[in-house]
């Protein structure tokens, strides 16, 4: 602890200087993030209500009401009214909550196993480790979708749950959830869909006329969904969503904290004290943008994605891995070689994409902060790098 207090001006000056190392979304260099600059209206609301604590909802019944309301709205968007759910800190927490519910549901299985596609997010590895679950990973087909035959072959008497991804982290693909649901139903398993990224794109893409396979609660055996407002929902961080089909599971597996002022409520969040401002800001954003607002944002992102795809395919030596389904593009080389070197060279020029070395893929996420002029600048640098590497 320093014994000489600094003035606010000095502190702000120091922060400005030190944080100038950070990249900003409007620079265009952030090409591999699933987050973006939240709308100003949402950040204003967020700071206004920063002290609300949903970990003690008896003190903040108004905030809890907003949380319940927004969860019902999301349930409706994902094919089920009257859902149970909560705003979480993100996809990781939501996925772990789903795994915990499944584990508690199958308490009789002493060595529980969960099966996820090899493309599933690392949060399932974390959840497995924390909850004492064995995680099995099903192979992908050659076009990077979940291999249903392999997932079936991994099911054993210890299996408790299956995961399908609607918007894979690496390529934004949608697993064949309807077929997975059939397998889940036949084996009486818990089926969770991770739409952390896709949740706030797919319903709008469908309304825009894109051919989107069913992936949500409209499929009978999909029991829970992760969908994150702080990704394409454009809400301030932290803001995740966990939704569960109406069920007594909530009552059975919720934690009760009887000493709190509100008393007697149950929750299944991993956290105790948790930020209410995220929920309030997302509620505000949801009402402000409405369906049309989100549709327009998704439409713009898809237009820039198509432009980006075309530009990549024009550069000799590299190509787009698969036709993008949503605003994620995987870039690779003709035989998958040198992807790591390309990434290294791009980083030297400040461009930050995601590197999925196991798949030999560089991932770009075309969030609303990514504009055509950024793509143009990026493609000039990328072409210079590939020319050097492949000539």
Cβ-based burial of 358 (10 A; exposed 0-12, middle 13-18, buried ≥19): exposed
Which of residues 71, 80, 165, 364 is near ligand PLP by CB under 6 A? 165
**266-267/255-256 β-pairing:** antiparallel
Q: How far is the CB of 180 from ligand PLP (least distance, A)?
A: 15
Which of residues 56, 147, 194, 309 is near ligand PLP by CB under 6 A? 194
> Counting contacts by CB under 6 A, is residue 197 touching ligand PLP?
yes
Residues in region 229-288 near ligand PLP by CB under 6 A: 240
Q: How far is the CB of 189 from ligand PLP (least distance, A)?
A: 20
CA distances from 175 to 48, 166, 298, 377 (A): 40, 6, 20, 33
Q: In angstroms, rounded to a whole number, what is the distance separating the alpha carbons of residues 125 and 133?
A: 9
Nearer to ligand PLP, 109 or 137 (CB): 137
Phi-psi region of 110 (alpha: psi -120 to 50; beta: other; left: phi over 0): alpha
Percent helix, percent strand, percent coil in the chain, to nearest 5: 40, 15, 40
> Counting contacts by CB under 6 A, is residue 56 touching ligand PLP?
no
Q: In angstroms, rounded to a whole number, what is the distance separating the alpha carbons of residues 285 and 235?
A: 7
Q: How far is the CB of 342 from ligand PLP (least distance, A)?
A: 22
Q: In angstroms, rounded to a whole number, what is the distance separating the alpha carbons of residues 180 and 145?
A: 12
> Counting contacts by CB under 6 A, is residue 32 touching ligand PLP?
no
Q: In angstroms, rounded to a whole number, what is the distance separating the alpha carbons of residues 353 and 11?
A: 32
> Counting contacts by CB under 6 A, is residue 174 touching ligand PLP?
no
Nearer to ligand PLP, 75 or 127 (CB): 127
Q: How far is the CB of 175 from ligand PLP (least distance, A)?
A: 11
Residues in region 73-92 near ligand PLP by CB under 6 A: 90-92
Nearer to ligand PLP, 67 or 228 (CB): 228
Bridge partners of residue 165, in order along the sequence: 194
Q: What angle do CA 162, 202, 324 make, to 5 degrees?
A: 90
CA distances from 153 to 102, 157, 187, 310 (A): 20, 12, 12, 39
> Counting contacts by CB under 6 A, is residue 67 touching ligand PLP?
no
Nearer to ligand PLP, 38 or 385 (CB): 38
Q: How far is the CB of 278 from ligand PLP (least distance, A)?
A: 12
Which of residues 34, 191, 244, 339 is near ligand PLP by CB under 6 A? 34
User: Which residues form the interface with ligand PLP (CB under 6 A)?
Assistant: 34, 90-92, 95, 121, 123, 165, 167, 169, 194, 196-197, 228, 240
């Amino acid at each position: 602890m320093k014994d000489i207090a600094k003035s606010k001006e000095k502190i702000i000056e120091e922060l400005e200087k030190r944080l100038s190392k950070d990249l900003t979304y409007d620079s265009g260099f952030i090409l591999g993030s699933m987050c973006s600059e939240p709308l100003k209206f949402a950040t204003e609301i967020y700071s206004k209500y920063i002290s609300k604590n949903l970990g003690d909802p008896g003190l903040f019944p108004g905030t809890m009401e907003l949380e319940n309301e927004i969860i019902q709205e999301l349930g409706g968007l994902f094919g089920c009214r009257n859902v149970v759910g909560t705003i979480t800190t993100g996809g990781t927490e939501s996925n772990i909550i789903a795994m915990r519910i499944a584990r508690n549901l199958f308490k009789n299985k002493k060595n529980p196993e969960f099966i996820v596609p090899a493309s599933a997010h690392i949060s399932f590895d974390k959840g497995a480790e924390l909850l004492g679950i064995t995680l099995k990973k099903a192979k992908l087909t050659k076009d990077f979708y979940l291999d249903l035959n392999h997932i079936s072959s991994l099911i054993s008497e210890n299996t408790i749950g299956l995961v399908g991804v609607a918007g894979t982290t690496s390529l934004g693909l949608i697993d064949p959830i309807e077929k997975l649901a059939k397998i889940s139903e036949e084996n009486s398993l818990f089926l969770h869909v991770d739409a952390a990224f896709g949740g706030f794109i797919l319903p709008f893409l469908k309304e825009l006329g894109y051919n989107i396979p069913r992936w949500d609660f409209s499929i009978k055996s999909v029991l829970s969904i992760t969908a994150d407002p702080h990704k394409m929902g454009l809400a301030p961080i932290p803001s995740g969503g966990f939704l569960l089909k109406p069920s007594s599971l909530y009552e059975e597996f919720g934690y009760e904290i009887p000493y709190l002022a509100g008393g007697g409520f149950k929750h299944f969040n991993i956290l105790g004290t948790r930020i209410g401002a995220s929920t309030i800001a997302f509620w505000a954003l949801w009402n402000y943008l409405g369906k049309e607002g989100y549709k327009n944002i998704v439409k713009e992102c898809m237009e820039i994605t198509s432009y980006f795809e075309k530009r990549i395919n024009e550069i000799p030596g590299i190509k787009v891995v698969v036709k993008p389904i949503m605003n994620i593009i995987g870039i690779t080389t003709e035989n998958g070689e040198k992807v790591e070197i390309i990434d290294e060279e791009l980083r030297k020029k400040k461009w930050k994409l995601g590197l999925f070395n196991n798949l030999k893929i560089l991932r770009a996420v075309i969030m609303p902060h990514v504009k055509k002029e950024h793509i143009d600048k990026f493609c000039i640098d990328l072409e210079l790098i590939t020319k050097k590497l492949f000539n």
